[in-house]
Structure 1
Amino acid sequence: MVTKDSPIPTLHEKHSGTPVRLLSVAKEHKDRLYSNKTVPPSVPRKQEVPVLPPDVDRPAFNRAIADLKRLLGDEHVEINDKPLIDGWYMEQPNTHDAFHILEQEDLVSCGTAYPGSTEDVQTIVKWANRHLIPVYPISMGRNLGYGGAAPRLRGSLLVDLGKRMNRVLNIDGHNASCLVEPGVSYFALYEEVQKTGYPLWIDTPDLGGGSVVGNALDRGVGYTPYGDHFAVHCGMEIVLPNGEVLRTGMGSLPGADNTDNPCWQAFQHNYGPSVDGLFSQSNFGIVTKMGVWLMPATGHQSFMFTFVRDNDFEAIIEALRPLALNRVIGNVPQIRNVIQELAVTGRGRAEFYDKKTPMPREVIREHAKKMAFGDVSWFFYGTVYGDDETRAKSLGIIKEAFAKIPGSKFNLPEDMPVGHYLRDRADVCSGKPVLRELDWLNWVPNAAHLFFSPIVPTKGRDARLVHELVTKLHKKWGFDSFPTWCVLGRELHYIANIVYDRTDPDAKRRAICLMREMIAAAADEGYGEYRTHLIFQDQVAATYGWNGQALNKFVETIKDAVDPNSILAPGRNGIWGHRYKGRGFEMWPGQEERKSLTGLPAPQAKL
């Protein structure tokens, strides 16, 4: 059982562990998080365990599990009948969503299978078709804020690819690429690249514990020039729902003597249709290997601008667009609000404001005055790359552009105190994974979070519209607003982070209502989420409804063709397949959330 005092696993001990270089930092983060907990590690389960998949009675389930244990070995199949423990980031569960927005027992699996190879995954998929048991693959289960390791369809069997399929299969120093299995974290890949001595960088998200494969398939982002993770993948090996194995790109052409194709990690496409995108944010196959491009190491300089007025962000974005399009700014920069600078100190909200209502702007301002950056509203974190001359020229252009915004101030990491967030951004933006982003989870007791993540054009008017919509609705439902823009040139990933106490039923209710209303209101203006939590996937998928839901009809047609038994991750990203569709498993806005989990008829609600 994960407790406050249990030792933190290292990468030497566990594929999901902490690098030794960060072990003391991880302990500090864990101690802070556990000091803010008000509940025991687990509470007794109220429901009969294990929870069964739909349409499967207990005798049939027991026979199926016995069959799977015979095929994989007893030690590689586990029943989910033990206490549910939320743990924390470096010791997260694979039984449920650690950041449960519903009841802890709602989105749970019936058990977990641990394949050790592509052949084992084939065995599991064929078994699932025989017994008509839905399976839900995860890479590592650290998709926190979007559902974690929970299956979308309650009672599905989890296929945990990370525990035994966690090898870096190849690092090509000349081609600046690698081939990895799903259980390879950013921490692990970084350490392996360092061992080679090759002058190569990885690209990492804010936190380094997630799966390289899983994050790319969910179209996550990092912060170097290679920050669009799916865009820098190159070639996949996939087990299809019928158990057959497919390789994409040049991997579909055998190499000499039936070896791997030498161009598999060099060229993303193949002859004929390129199908890689069908396996991102879908349930059409299980990716067991993925190629990833690495970035040649280069000179770099991270920096920060501060801006004094709340309404400066429109001017910031207008100034930023040509810099991003012309690649003067070379990475995926961030614009963050001042309240996040308070939260990332690791101090609890109660230290700044002792009321439950959203923190007033004047309170934020008073606390900001005491910080190193002073009374400001917005922070811009960016990085330039290249030799000394190139970096100096780029910084000159950026300074000139932002100088047009009155009161803007330029800062380098060495200008800020030791421990300031800018120093950690410098690591992330040069491909070094860290743990700093955990600190804002101390904002409230038992903190969990949801992300609202719409795509917005890099235009001040659009950014203002979405920002005002999000801010207004956060205030309506009683949450502090933590807006971040990740800038990918022509578009912004607007990331609104809803932080709530997962032991507070009312906070959960309000968080769900806030998400539902933001999704609908943003979609009415033409802004859709690129990624969302499990329980909102049906709603978000339905907002992409141009031409009578043409897109969703197309993907459902593919689903029924490749997975006629609907055994692979039914419901993921709103793709159900005919076996489950329309039976009440969907989660629509306006219905009581838990009713849909039981398979009872779900009332239709207007999006």
Structure 2
Amino acid sequence: MPPAPSFPPPPSLSSNYSGLPDRLADIGSESKNRLLSRRTLPESAPRQHDVPRLPPDISRAEFNQAIGEVKEILGSENVAINDRPLVDGWYIEHPNTHDAYHVALQEDLVSSAVVYPGNVEEVQSIVRWANKHLIPIYPISMGRNIGYGGTAPRVPGSVVIDLGKRMNRILNIDAENASCLLEPGVSYFALYEEIQRRQLPLWIDTPDVGGGSVLGNAIDRGVGYTPYGDHFANHCGLEIVLPSGELLRTGMGALPGKEGDDNPTWQSFQPAYGPYSDGIFSQSNYGIVVRMGMWLMPETSHQSYLITFPRDEDFPDIVEVIRPLAQQRVLGNIPQLRHVIQELATTARPKSDFYAGKDPVPRSVIHEHAATLPVGDVSWVFYGTQYGDPAGITAQLEIIRTAFSKIAGAKMLLPDDLPPEHYLHSRVSVCSGVPILRELDWLNWVPNAAHLFFSPIVPTRGRDARIVHEIVVRLHAKYGFDLLPTLCVAGREMHYIVNIVYDRASVDEKRRAAALMREMIAETAAEGYGEYRTHILFADMVASTYSWGSNALMRFNETIKDALDPNGILAPGRNGIWPRRFRGKGWEILGTEVEDALDGKGIGPKSVQ
């Protein structure tokens, strides 16, 4: 058997703001080699359309003139025209020209150019430039919003503002206040490593994979798994460039400090006096967040564990046990409930190792292979972590064990009960604020793997969970995808996150993934359950489900958008919010447009394709 191909190692954090820390160098190389060795797509392919893709309503001469002006503002070295072959790359070496995990065709959502500001003043200058030329701009922090659109602009031909490359400073870590102030290009890896370098008794809260922007994830209302897992709820203070180019500070940051310094309460108290405006800058296109304060968690003792359940039909009963434990704050973190098929996927082995068919792995085959793994032949696995003093943790674990014992066959295991390669040990790291890479192992499930998230909010009640779960199970079977669900559980709601893993070399799989997504959005919304976050291609569809009061919420959002951004230059269409300039002109995606794009029809009004 020929040796597996070897690829150049990922960049290190010491040499590249978005790289891997040295402690993960070998793991990163192994992960990259595993994933790329299953690639059948060429590294890049010739583009089929004129390059660069022009912004809407802008001629090539107008574009060239505008690009010449922005080069004068930033320097030619900080402006890149997107006219080269598109390369999907790997997690740490992802593109900023398009969505690496393209659901439509690779060329459908591309930028015309990428600009790299180095400070707040340059961001302001770019925004004023965009207003002058009526060129849509699309800011990204680091572009690792994978599964939701990555770095792709919603309007093809937009100019991407890559904030991470040159704006990646940790501006302050206040050990006494347990807080920090960051620029957009600071990754979870970078923040963690700096805290360790300073030997501070503080934790960060990280998502499953640690290469993303701390600021970007919070602004998109991402979650982690410590008691600080609601990232936007634990931000404190924003500095924002508005669509006019003006600069705004929210919360206590609006109060000037002594002798021109920042005031001492900006990262201590979230609101200030008057309306609390921070929320309108999350998941919106109302401004570019260029600085953000974040609360950090004081270091503490902790104990991770898992509990297994033997039957698929245990699902609603598990949820019923979780709810009072979470509401009474017995559960220490934001725990996860996963189906046992993920015990197979997190081994980093391909689906073909377990099942030769192209259809979803039959339940009997999942049972057969699960029986050979450390947790055994079970159906559901609950991952949790407790925090505090050792005596308190022991008491909490006993309460949890007793509560789940109501479900016949439930079994609690601690890390010492499992081999070092088991996924629980990765949860120990994540749930104690240590960013890692393990979650990328899912992507070995199919060749050329990409993924698309479906993320509805469900009340923490068995009957609600059953309704959504049965819809998701039925539609996955209809469209021929393995169901890989992860439920992030709190006392009153669960993020029911479905990871649709597909081969991005297969037009058929992409078409089925898009249709699956579209039907899950529609059917769950019809039952009263909506997504909290979605891929940019499905934003209009999700936004349209929030239609109470004759679409009062969207009309309100559009009113704010038109007031702040009358020229419609800032991220038009992001999260379904279109400015007047684009609204009602065929840009919205509300039907089968994503599937149609795979037939070469493109994304956007026919007049601009």
Equivalent positions of 1:100-499 (< 5 A) are 100-499=102-501
State the secondary structure of the residue aligned to 2:264. coil
Distance between the aligned counterparts of 1:39 and 1:60, measured in 2?
35
Residue 597 of structure 1 and its aligned partner are, at CA, apart by 2.0
Amino acid at match of 1:229: H
Distance between the aligned counterparts of 1:289 and 1:484, measured in 2?
31
State the secondary structure of the residue aligned to 1:231. helix
Whether 1:597 and 2:603 are equivalent positions in the alignment is: yes
Distance between the aligned counterparts of 2:83 and 2:552, measured in 1?
41
Distance between the aligned counterparts of 1:590 and 1:349, measured in 2?
29
Amino acid at match of 1:65: I
Distance between the aligned counterparts of 1:460 and 1:539, measured in 2?
27
Residue 7 of structure 1 and its aligned partner are, at CA, apart by 3.0
Identity of aligned residues (%): 64
TM-score, normalised on structure 2? Answer: 0.98
Residue 261 of structure 1 and its aligned partner are, at CA, apart by 1.2
Distance between the aligned counterparts of 1:293 and 1:596, measured in 2?
43
Distance between the aligned counterparts of 1:593 and 1:26, measured in 2?
37
TM-score, normalised on structure 1? Answer: 0.98
Provide structure 2 residue ranges, at least 5 long, that are not aligned to the other structure: none
Distance between the aligned counterparts of 1:127 and 1:209, measured in 2?
31
State the secondary structure of the residue aligned to 2:216. helix
Amino acid at match of 1:398: I
State the secondary structure of the residue aligned to 1:530. strand
State the secondary structure of the residue aligned to 2:533. coil
Residue 5 of structure 1 and its aligned partner are, at CA, apart by 2.3
Residue 596 of structure 1 and its aligned partner are, at CA, apart by 6.2
Residue 258 of structure 1 and its aligned partner are, at CA, apart by 1.9
State the secondary structure of the residue aligned to 1:584. coil
1:237-290 deviation digits (Å, cap 9, x = unpaired) = 000000000000000000111210110000000100010000000000000000
Distance between the aligned counterparts of 2:592 and 2:201, measured in 1?
53
Residue 326 of structure 1 and its aligned partner are, at CA, apart by 1.1
State the secondary structure of the residue aligned to 1:542. helix
Match 1:546 to one of 545, 548, 551: 548
Q: Which residue of 2 aligns with 1:605?
A: none
Whether 1:36 and 2:28 are equivalent positions in the alignment is: no
Residue 449 of structure 1 and its aligned partner are, at CA, apart by 0.5
Amino acid at match of 2:141: S
Distance between the aligned counterparts of 1:469 and 1:6, measured in 2?
43
Q: Relative to 1, partners in 2 of residues 1:601 and 1:523: Cα closer, same or farther, differing over 3 Å?
A: farther
1:133-173 deviation digits (Å, cap 9, x = unpaired) = 00000000000000000001110000000000001000000
Contact 1:587 1:596 in 2 (8 A): no
1:208-256 deviation digits (Å, cap 9, x = unpaired) = 0000001001100000000000000000000000000000000000011
Residue 4 of structure 1 and its aligned partner are, at CA, apart by 5.5
Distance between the aligned counterparts of 1:420 and 1:327, measured in 2?
27
Residue 469 of structure 1 and its aligned partner are, at CA, apart by 0.4
Residue 416 of structure 1 and its aligned partner are, at CA, apart by 0.5
Contact 1:583 1:600 in 2 (8 A): no
Contact 1:203 1:224 in 2 (8 A): yes
Residue 458 of structure 1 and its aligned partner are, at CA, apart by 0.3
Distance between the aligned counterparts of 2:315 and 2:191, measured in 1?
36
Match 1:87 to one of 89, 97, 101: 89
1:152-204 deviation digits (Å, cap 9, x = unpaired) = 11100000000000010000000000000000000000001111211000000
CA RMSD of aligned residues (A): 1.1
Contact 2:12 2:19 in 1 (8 A): yes
Q: Relative to 1, partners in 2 of residues 1:178 and 1:282: Cα closer, same or farther, differing over 3 Å?
A: same
Q: Which residue of 1 aligns with 2:519?
A: 517
State the secondary structure of the residue aligned to 2:382. strand
Residue 600 of structure 1 and its aligned partner are, at CA, apart by 2.4
Amino acid at match of 1:134: P
Contact 2:11 2:20 in 1 (8 A): yes
Distance between the aligned counterparts of 1:389 and 1:351, measured in 2?
44
Contact 1:142 1:149 in 2 (8 A): yes
Whether 1:555 and 2:561 are equivalent positions in the alignment is: no
State the secondary structure of the residue aligned to 1:540. helix
Q: Which residue of 2 aligns with 1:505?
A: 507
Distance between the aligned counterparts of 2:292 and 2:245, measured in 1?
18
State the secondary structure of the residue aligned to 2:561. helix
Amino acid at match of 1:597: I
Contact 1:586 1:596 in 2 (8 A): no
Residue 40 of structure 1 and its aligned partner are, at CA, apart by 1.6
Amino acid at match of 1:240: L
Amino acid at match of 2:216: G
Contact 1:585 1:596 in 2 (8 A): no
Residue 380 of structure 1 and its aligned partner are, at CA, apart by 0.3
Distance between the aligned counterparts of 2:256 and 2:549, measured in 1?
41
Contact 2:155 2:604 in 1 (8 A): no
Residue 488 of structure 1 and its aligned partner are, at CA, apart by 2.2
Equivalent positions of 1:15-34 (< 5 A) are 15-34=17-36
Amino acid at match of 1:263: T
Contact 1:282 1:572 in 2 (8 A): yes
Residue 601 of structure 1 and its aligned partner are, at CA, apart by 7.9
State the secondary structure of the residue aligned to 2:108. coil
Distance between the aligned counterparts of 2:243 and 2:37, measured in 1?
44
State the secondary structure of the residue aligned to 2:452. strand
1:86-133 deviation digits (Å, cap 9, x = unpaired) = 011111110000000000000000010100111010000000000100
Contact 1:583 1:601 in 2 (8 A): no
Residue 585 of structure 1 and its aligned partner are, at CA, apart by 1.3
Contact 1:587 1:593 in 2 (8 A): no
1:336-364 deviation digits (Å, cap 9, x = unpaired) = 00001100100000111111111110010
Distance between the aligned counterparts of 2:196 and 2:328, measured in 1?
31
State the secondary structure of the residue aligned to 1:82. coil
Amino acid at match of 1:551: L
Distance between the aligned counterparts of 2:316 and 2:467, measured in 1?
10
Moved more, 58-67 or 31-40: 31-40
Moved more, 221-230 or 38-47: 38-47
Distance between the aligned counterparts of 2:318 and 2:551, measured in 1?
36
Distance between the aligned counterparts of 1:538 and 1:551, measured in 2?
13
Residue 598 of structure 1 and its aligned partner are, at CA, apart by 4.0
* Runs ≥4 residues deviating over 3 A: 590-593
Q: Which residue of 2 aligns with 1:9?
A: 11
Distance between the aligned counterparts of 1:6 and 1:32, measured in 2?
13
Residue 372 of structure 1 and its aligned partner are, at CA, apart by 1.1
